[in-house]
Amino acid sequence: MDLCVFGVDDGYAEAIIRGLRASFLSEAQYQQMKNCASIPELKSFLEETDYQNCLQADNPQIPTSILRQRLKKKLADEFEYIEAQSTGTLTKYLFHLRCRFMIDNVVNMIEGLKNKIDIEILLSNIDPLGWFPEIKNIKVLEGDDYSSLYRDVLIDTPIGVYFMKFLEESIENLHENRTLNDIQNLFREMKPEYIRTSLKKMWLEDFYSFCESELMATSQEVLLELLKFEADFKTIQVIYNSIGNRDLNTAAKIITTRKQLCPTIGNLYPDCEKLYLQAMTLDTLREAVKGCDNYRDLLKDAPDPLKREEFNVQTKTLDDIMYDDECRRYALAFDGQGSYGVFYAYLKLKEQEIRNIIWLAEMISRKLAKNHPGWKKIIIPFSHLGK
Amino acid sequence: MSFFRSKKMKYYSLVIPRESAWVVMNELARLGQLHFVDYDPQLPMINRPFANYVKRCDDSLFKLSCLELLLKEFKKNLNYCENVEELLDYFSQVQYDRMKPGHTYFDELESEIEQKKIQIQEQSANLQNLLDRVNIITEQQLVLENAKEILGQSMFQQQTPHNPNDYQQLKFGQLIGVIEKEEEVRFKRIIFRVTKGNAWVQIKDLNNQQIDNSMRQSFHLNQNNTSSPRCLYVIVYPGAEESSSLKMKLLKVCDSFNRQRIEYPNSMDELQRKMMELNQQLLEVKNLIEMSKQQLEQSLDELVLQKQGCNCSYFEYMRLYVLKEKYLYVNLNYLTMRGSIFTGYFWLPEGLEIMVEEKLRNAMKNNRDHYPTGQIQEIKPQLTSPPTYFNLNEVTMPFQEIVNTYGIPRYQEVNPGLFTIITFPFLFGVMFADIAHGFMLFLCGLYIIFWKNYLLKQTDSMFNLMIPFRYLIVLMGFFAFYNGFIYNDYLSISLNLFGSCYSPEKEEWKRESKDCVYPFGVDPVWQASGSSLNFMNSYKMKLSVILGVIHMLFGILMKGVNTLYFKNYLDFFCEFIPQLLFMICTFGWMDFIIIVKWLNTYENNTDPSIIETMINQVLKPFDKPVNPVFPNEAEFQLQLTQILTLIAVICIPWMLLPKPLILGSKNDKHKVNMSDSQYQPLVLEKQVSEQDEDNNQQFHNDLQNAANLKSFSEQSNEQHDSGEIWVHQMIETIEFVLGGISNTASYLRLWALSLAHGQLAEVFYDMCLAGKLDIGGILGGLLGGYFYIVFALLTFGVLMTMDVMECFLHALRLHWVEFQNKFYKADGYLFNGYSYKKILNDNLKQSNSK
């Protein structure tokens, strides 16, 4: 049924995004990019692709960070255009998508301010996709007083809700007769990475319930599947990264932290929860997730987190493996008809493309030999479909 | 007859040493008759030897376009080049005077452009900075003035409280500054939250855009204001101590809005002093602006200036030169580089070889270092067929354009464009037939022809778009006029020009004499009779079928001409002849009996029905016709129709069967011969690899190899599947046989559209004019005037614009589908001469239309 009426409101936006499918770099183009010998050459190559207009005004020796910023800006412009063309539920949905970037931006700002980095530099580095007007007011932050940051600035912003929940939760976890001092201590010790993970978890759960309650059946089918995977991805990441983490010394603390950070959705939750919360080695983690989907195969090649010190550029990390699988799923979702999954997939795949270009730019600027395994570490969107 | 078939082309290879590549290409581009063939279309542009130069040219063009924006902003008018030929001569003159290798001139220009761009952009950025500075100062002034008003005197008169608990003596602090207008609400909210409501915020619009614009105006600058509206804020909060946490926090918040915050002075005197200071600053900055503006204008004027002997601004000169250079390198990229030799291939219209050689000699002469300038040699063409090249003029261009829009003629194929010159306006005229309307269109065309130069200057004229099509319009108008006479239709009224053969007599029409014939067109008496529409319909219908069949037969004949020209006798005997016979025996015969029926008089209601005759001829082949077309010769007619039907029926298998059978048997023989030819390329490659490195010899070797390579690659890939041939032939046959009927029917649109045109004209005439003219008196005059205007507008809007378009489109369709599908292959590609003149002219148009 919803396939018949999908086009009424969202047909135009979908059509635009289908048109943008042509802007993805092809495998042959990646091959040519790998052959570039220097950054100016890479830049002039990119000028022959869809990225032409966003790079033209720049100097040929473009630093990677600016290159990234330009590419992201282009993506953000496209996304904004689509957002402007959307109506009703789709607008809400697209806005939800942007929240993820806003969280990243806010946490980056907080982190930067804590490290006393100049606000102008921070502002120039924010992801244009997650820009919102209040972001520059984060400057008001004093010390570690997140609650007043929330009260003064973030309360009005789209991510205020998540921030409030986060504050509530972290205060609740303290013992009964807490003092102001305790709270301040808590915030002082809190790592920005922790804030990010918890905020993102809340966002994911919220987005999930949004998709579940407001979207039409086809969109739900596609998106819930993607989000479940993403949640599982997060869970596995949290567990994986906490294995052998020295900051979390006691077993009880590991489990509570994990419990706080792992999303309460996905294929793994709640069936495997008990198992994965207690997984202390890679093998037990593999065992814990074996019941679901192809997770076991994914984890098969992951390097052991206990030997983190031995990792280098060549190591195919867990993230790489997961991105690869993600990319396949998104490409499939993109080619599906009549669902909102296409917008989500577009964003994710374009992000992957930008990551690829930046990675290659790094490789080129470091002048690594062409037989270096790092050259192979790019995941080309839509390359999975042909096979 | 250069227009009937495209020009003969010859394929040449060109070999130039690297050193003189630029000179040679520069000379050849002046000739404009070479069509370079890309040696490897798959190779991406970026991997070609001159990709770098092309890129540099692009960069320079980009810089120039930045400069152009500035020129526009400062309202500098460029002199655009009008005569490309002169400019090109000037280019070569400049080159000649330089006494340096030609290609280095671009380097000079490039660095000059770069320099100019940096200089001018710096100056304009400087100017912009100063303007911003003025803005900030005026803003400060405004803020201070407004704050003074809002805060009033009492702010300065606060005393330190004697008793800190007495809230009436509590001291207040204040903050003033500027924020963006759109952030007003957010700002208020944040302040409210930070102070928990304990602050008084006042916001006032600054109207900064108006101020900005008025200031820019005072410097005669463009008012392209990009600044967003801003407003000033005044916050009053309790507690004046310097280090109170509230103040610190408020400061942070205010600063985070990224606009200027202004210190409010402590006393009235100080305020006054500050205002004075600002005024002083403002004056200084304004002086600076005047100066830097003059500087900027000076540098811009340099670009506008015309150099001696050059017919356009220096800016335009640079732009066109860079464009020309880019074009040269793009074409140079079509050549392969082998060692220090460039090898390329090009098509050249027959007979121009001498001119190319002369250009090469010229290049040698102009070349400072007297490098050898390369050679050309005719070689056997590759698999690709030559390009299609016509020498067009302004008359033939629109007609060829009509044909090209459908498809470019195949090389040397009969060009339908030639016939289109007359048939297109004629068929249009048949549909648009009206003496008055046609004449108006004719006049319109004449106007464009005679006032062309005047119209070219009016850039906003509607006629401007029609200039290329002026001869088309004249001919269309003429034929509509002519056909209007034949139909005797003047705005739906028949004219009695030559005196009708009938005169009214007792409510009847009497023919004056038996031999009286109206000399030209339709006798106007028909309009007066009641059966005018019936008569005209039958007449127009038959006429359109006759025209259609003639048109199509002509198309088929052209197919015959094509097959003979290409010596394709198989198609001549197995396609052309049966098709021609089929068409003649069916619809040709129909036309014939239509005319016979017109010429004969039949008595006692024995006039034959054409349709019935045609149908019975096929369905009842052995019955004598009841009402024969040839009076009293039914027997003869029966025999004739039997023969014709038989021929037509035989033609169908004739079209279908022989061709695929013959092709199939040929293929079988071909396969046997295939085996040995496959080895030849290998031998050749060996030759190439064994090539010795000696430079002089290599030059000749290259030439030889180039010639050899191409002739070997002539292996035709005519290995069609026999099944494919059958399917193809079946489709062709079915299309032709069924198409014969449907295409003939399609020509009935000639009648239908002329009927529609006539009826519309009649309706407009009846509704607006007829009857209204008889009222008389002042009222009648007014009404008549009013209805005349309505009539004129309707005639113009509906008939002269919409109906012209409609008839045009239908004439187009008749040509594209019904006529051209009989013979036209349309799978050629256009000759694209390597010519500076063309590329520069193309770019001239753009800059003029801006």
Is A151 close to B258, i.e. CB distance below 8 A? Answer: no
Structure tokens at A46: 């990119």
Check residue B574 and report its DSSP letter.
I
Distance from CA of A58 to the nearest CA of B (A): 11
Tell me if B189 and A156 make a contact (CB, 8 A cut-off): yes
Beta carbons of A152 and B190 less than 8 Å apart:
yes
Which residues of chain A are within 8 Å of residue B252 when distances are taken between CB atoms?
Answer: 139-140, 142
Report the candidate in B439, B493, B399 with the shortest Cα–Cα distance to residue B811. B399
State which residues of chain B have pLDDT below 50: 675-699, 706-718, 849-850
User: What pLDDT is attached to residue A325?
Assistant: 84
Q: What is the pLDDT of residue B183?
A: 81
Nearest to B253 among A32, A137, A151 (CB): A137
pLDDT value, residue B748:
95
CA distance B469 to B467: 5
Q: What is the β-pairing status of strands B230-238 and B200-205?
A: antiparallel
Answer whether B253 sits within 8 Å of A155, measured CB to CB: no
Tokens representing B464 are 């401007």
Sort A127 into a burial class: Cβ within 10 Å, 0-12 / 13-18 / 19+: buried
* B189: closest chain A residue by CA: A152
**Residue listed under structure tokens 């031995």:** A310
Mean pLDDT of A111-125: 80
Contact predicate A201/A263, CB 8 Å: yes
CA distance A45 to chain B (A): 8
Cβ atoms A265, A271 nearer than 8 A: no
Kindly identify which residue of chain A lies nearest to residue B256, measuring between CA atoms.
A137
- In the block, tokens 């100017």 appear at B127
Sequence-distant (6+) residues with CB within 8 A of B313 are B78, B79, B80, B303, B304, B305, B306
The answer to whether A140 contacts B45, with C-beta atoms less than 8 Å apart, is no
Closest approach of A67 to chain B, Cα-based (Å): 19
Task: Work out the minimum CA distance from A25 to partner chain B, whole angstroms.
Answer: 15
Q: Is B10 helix (H, G, I), strand (E, B) or coil?
A: strand
What predicted TM-score, i.e. pTM, was given to this entire model? 0.72
Percentage of chain B beyond pLDDT 70 is 88
Q: Is there a contact between B13 and B706 (Cβ–Cβ < 8 Å)?
A: yes
Cβ within 8 Å, pair A140-B249: yes
Distance between CA atoms of residues B616 and B603, nearest Å = 22
Picking from B256, B257, B258 by the largest number of A CB atoms within 10 A of its own CB, the best residue to mutate is B256
Count how many Cα atoms sit within 13 Å of the Cα of residue B390 in the half-sphere of its side chain: 29
**Measured between alpha carbons, how far is B302 from B320 in angstroms, rounded to an integer?**
17
pLDDT score for B685: 42
| Between residues B827 and A378, the one the model is more confident about | B827
User: Residues with Cβ < 8 Å from B780, sequence gap 6 or more?
Assistant: B772, B773, B774
Question: What does DSSP say about strands B230-238 and B172-180: parallel, antiparallel, or unpaired?
Answer: antiparallel
ipTM above 0.85, yes or no: no
Which chain A residues are Cβ-neighbours of B255 within 8 angstroms?
139
Q: Decide: B257 and B223 in contact? Cβ < 8 Å.
A: no
CB-neighbour burial class of residue B87 (10 A; exposed 0-12, middle 13-18, buried 19+): buried
Mutate to test the interface with B, among A153, A154, A155, A157 (most CBs of B within 10 A): A153
Least Cα separation, residue A153 to chain B (angstroms): 7
- Residue among B356, B147, B435, B374 at smallest CA distance from B268: B147
Q: What is the pLDDT of residues B429-455, one digit of tens each?
A: 999 999 999 999 999 999 999 998 888
Q: What residues of chain A have any CB closer than 8 angstroms to a CB in chain B?
A: 32, 44-45, 48, 56, 133-134, 136-140, 142, 151-153, 155-156
At B147 the pLDDT is 80
Which of B181, B252, B254 has the highest number of chain A CBs within 10 A, making it the mutation to test binding with A?
B252
**B165 near B316, Cβ under 8 Å?**
no
Among B44, B194, B258, the residue with its CB nearest the CB of A152 is B194
- For chain B, the residues whose C-beta falls within 8 A of a C-beta of chain A are 44-46, 55, 62, 183, 186, 189-190, 193-194, 249, 252-253, 255-258
CA distance B252 to chain A (A): 6
Q: In DSSP terms, which residues pair with B204 in a beta bridge? A: B232
Residue B102 structure tokens: 């030609």
Burial A20-46 (b: 16+ CB within 10 A, else e): beeebbeeebbebbeebeebebbbbbb
Size of interface A-B (CB pairs under 8 A): 39
Task: State phi, psi for B375 to the nearest 5 degrees.
Answer: -135, 160
Lowest mean pLDDT among A278-287, A314-323, B572-581, B670-679: B670-679
pLDDT band at A246 (very low <50, low <70, confident <90, very high): low
**pLDDT at residue A360 tops 50:** yes
Q: Report which DSSP code applies to A179.
A: -
DSSP of B687-727: HHHT----HHHHHHHHHHHHHHHHHHTT-------HHHHHH
Contact B46 A139 (CB under 8 A): no
Say whether B253 and A140 touch across the interface (CB within 8 A): yes
Partner-chain contact B255 A139, CB within 8 Å: yes
Q: Give how far B53 is from chain A: nearest CA, Å.
A: 13
Placement of tokens 């997984």 in the chain: A279
CA distance A285 to A281: 6
CA of B248: which chain A residue's CA is closest? A140
- In this predicted structure, what is the pLDDT of residue B689? 42
What distance in Å separates residue A79's CA from the closest CA in chain B?
23
Structure-block tokens of residue B643: 């023969």
Question: In angstroms, what separates the C-alpha of B307 from chain A's closest C-alpha?
Answer: 30
Nearest to B46 among A48, A152, A155 (CB): A48
Place of tokens 């005229």: B429
Does B46 contact A32 at a Cβ distance shorter than 8 Å? yes
Record: contact B46-A45, CB cut-off 8 A: yes
Choosing among B183, B190, B195, B228, which should be mutated to test the A contact, i.e. which has the most A CBs within 10 A? B190
Q: Verify whether the Cβ–Cβ distance A139 to B193 is below 8 Å.
A: no
Judged by CB atoms closer than 8 Å, whether chains meet at B183 and A133 is answered as yes
Contact A45 B257 (CB under 8 A): no
Residues of B within 8 A of A37 (CB-CB) are none
* Partner-chain residue, chosen from A45, A56, A137, that has the shortest CB–CB distance to B256: A137
Distance from CA of B48 to the nearest CA of A (A): 13
CB contact under 8 A, A155 and B62: no
Q: Could you say which DSSP state residue B796 is in?
A: I
Best of A119, A139, A154 to substitute, by most chain B Cβ atoms within 10 angstroms, is A139
CB contact under 8 A, B256 and A48: no
Residues of A in contact with B191 (CB under 8 A): none
- Is B717 in contact with B515 (CB distance < 8 Å)? no
Contact A162, A103 (CB under 8 A): yes
Contact assignment for B190 to A137 by CB distance below 8 Å: yes
The neighbour count for residue A357, using CB atoms within 10 Å, is: 22
Q: What is the CA radius of gyration of chain A?
A: 22
Residue A287 has pLDDT above 90, yes or no: no
Express as a percent the part of chain A with pLDDT over 70: 91
Do you know the residue count of chain A?
A: 387
Summarised one tens digit per residue, pLDDT across range A3-61 is 788 888 888 989 999 998 888 888 888 888 888 888 888 888 888 788 877 777 777 78
CB nearest to A151's CB, from B193, B252, B253: B193
Does the beta-carbon distance from B46 to A140 stay under 8 Å?
no
Best of A26, A118, A137 to substitute, by most chain B Cβ atoms within 10 angstroms, is A137
Distance, in angstroms, between A120 CA and closest chain B CA? Answer: 10
